[in-house]
Amino acid sequence: MDRPAILVARAVFPETLARLAQHFDVDASADDRVLAPAELAERLRGKAGAFTTGSERIDAALLGACPQLRAVANMAVGYNNFDLAACTAHGVLATNTPDVLTETTADFGFALMMAAARRMAESERFLRRGEWRRWSYDMFTGSDVHGATLGLLGMGRIGQAIARRGALGFGMQVIYHNRSRLPVEREAPLGARYVDKATLLREADHLVLVLPYTAASHHAIGAAELAAMKPSATLTNVARGGVVDDAALAAALRERRIAAAALDVFEGEPQVQAALLDVSNVVLTPHIASATVATRRAMAELAATNLIAALGGERPPNLLNPEVLGRAAG
C-alpha cells in the first residue's frame, strides 16, 4: 500500500523524523532553510501532509497549488501562519501544539518581565563594556516585581500560568483583559481582576502580552496605548510580533515614556528594527520562550502525533478546524 508523502519543512529532532518515517514517505529539509512561498509550494506538490513551524505560511495560494494536501501540523501553539479559513475551505486538517509548552513559556515570560524590571540585560552590557567603576546608590535602579500589579493582556493557558507565578510566588496583584472573562473559580485562586483595556494600561506596573495574533490584535499596543501606561511601567511581549507596534515602542523607550520592555517576538522577525536595537532599556531575545530541550521535544512529538492521526483517518488531538471532519462524515 502506498504510504502518504509528507514534507517536514524544517529541521527537527532525529527521533521525530524516525517516527514520522514509520508512517510516511518523508521529504525532510536537509539544511533548515525557511523555504520561500514558491519553493514551499513546489516541495509540497503531491504531498498529503506538512509538518510546519511558525515560519511557513499556509494560505489560499499555497493550498490551491497543492490540492493533494490533507493535513498541516504546526510545531507551535500559535498558528497565525495558517489561514485557517482557507485550510477549512480546502478540506485540510490543521493542528497546533498547545499545553505542552504552557509552563515553559510562562517561565520565560516571567523571566523577561523580571529582566526588564530589574534592568538585567542593560546592566550586563554595561559590565561587559568595562564601564563598571564603583558601586553607586542609584546604579541601575529598577522597579520591584514582588507586590507590584501584574497586568495581562490575554488570559489563556499561558496567561493564567504567568498569573499563577505572579500571584502565588511574588505576591502580585493580578489584573487582566481578555476577549472573555474567566469563570470566577479560575479568577479566585489568583485574586485576578478582570478590567477593561484602559484600566489595564493605566494600572499595570508590569504589562505582559499573551494574546494570539489576529487582525483584531494587530498593534494592540501602539503609541496611544503606550502613552496610557505609567512612566515607571514595563512591557513584555511573548505573544507575537505585530501585537506591538515596534516603531512606536522604540520611540516610547527612547523617550522614557515607559521604563523598559522585554521582547521575544518582533514584527518581521528575524529582522529586528534598528530603532529597537538602538535603545538600551529593552531586553531582546530571538523567539525562544518555549525553548527548553524537554518542551521542544514534546512539541515535536505532539505535532507528529497530530499528523499521524490526521493522515491515518483519526481525529488529531489538537485539531483547529473540526468542521473539516464533520464535512467528510456528511
CA atoms within 13 A on the CB side of 34: 7
- Comparing CB distances to ligand GLV, the nearer of 76 and 150 is 76
86 phi, psi to nearest 5 deg: -70, -40
Q: Is 208 in the site for ligand GLV (CB under 6 A)?
A: no
- Comparing CB distances to ligand GLV, the nearer of 176 and 266 is 266
Total residue length of the chain: 330
| Minimum distance, C-beta of residue 116 to ligand GLV, in the bound complex (Å) | 19
In the structure grid, which three cell numbers stand for residue 109, read together?
515570560
Q: Which stretch binds ligand GLV (CB under 6 A): 1-9, 22-30, 76-84, 301-309?
A: 76-84
C-alpha 99 chain-centroid distance: 13
Contacts with ligand GLV by CB under 6 A: the residue count is 6
Ramachandran quadrant class, 230 (left: phi over 0; alpha: psi -120 to 50; beta: rest): beta
> Which among 89, 21, 151, 99 has a CA at the least distance from the CA of 295?
99
Q: Is 290 in the site for ligand GLV (CB under 6 A)?
A: yes
Interaxial angle between packed helices 293-311 and 14-21, expressed in degrees from 0 to 180 and rounded to the nearest 10 = 10
CA-to-CA distance for 177 and 197, rounded, in angstroms? Answer: 6
Binding to ligand GLV, residues 147-176 (CB under 6 A) = none
Determine contact, residues 46/70, Cβ cutoff 8 Å: no
Q: Is 77 in the site for ligand GLV (CB under 6 A)?
A: yes
- CA dihedral over 105, 107, 110, 111, signed as positive or negative: negative
Q: Which stretch binds ligand GLV (CB under 6 A): 75-83, 113-121, 126-134, 320-328?
A: 75-83
Annotated catalytic sites, by residue? 240, 269, 287
| Minimum distance, C-beta of residue 301 to ligand GLV, in the bound complex (Å) | 14
Binding to ligand GLV, residues 87-126 (CB under 6 A) = 101
**Out of 4, 54, 142, 154, the residue judged to bind ligand GLV by CB under 6 A:** 54
- Comparing CB distances to ligand GLV, the nearer of 82 and 176 is 82
The one-letter amino acid code at 101 reads L
- Comparing CB distances to ligand GLV, the nearer of 172 and 300 is 300
> Which among 213, 180, 212 has a CA at the least distance from the CA of 194?
180
| Minimum distance, C-beta of residue 54 to ligand GLV, in the bound complex (Å) | 6
- Comparing CB distances to ligand GLV, the nearer of 37 and 78 is 78
Q: Which stretch binds ligand GLV (CB under 6 A): 5-13, 70-78, 131-139, 216-224?
A: 70-78
3-state secondary structure string, 256-280? CCCCEEEECCCCCCCCCCHHHHHCC
Provide the β-strand partners of residue 149.
173
| Minimum distance, C-beta of residue 101 to ligand GLV, in the bound complex (Å) | 6
**Out of 37, 78, 91, 222, the residue judged to bind ligand GLV by CB under 6 A:** 78
> Applying CB under 6 A, which residues contact ligand GLV?
54, 76-78, 101, 290
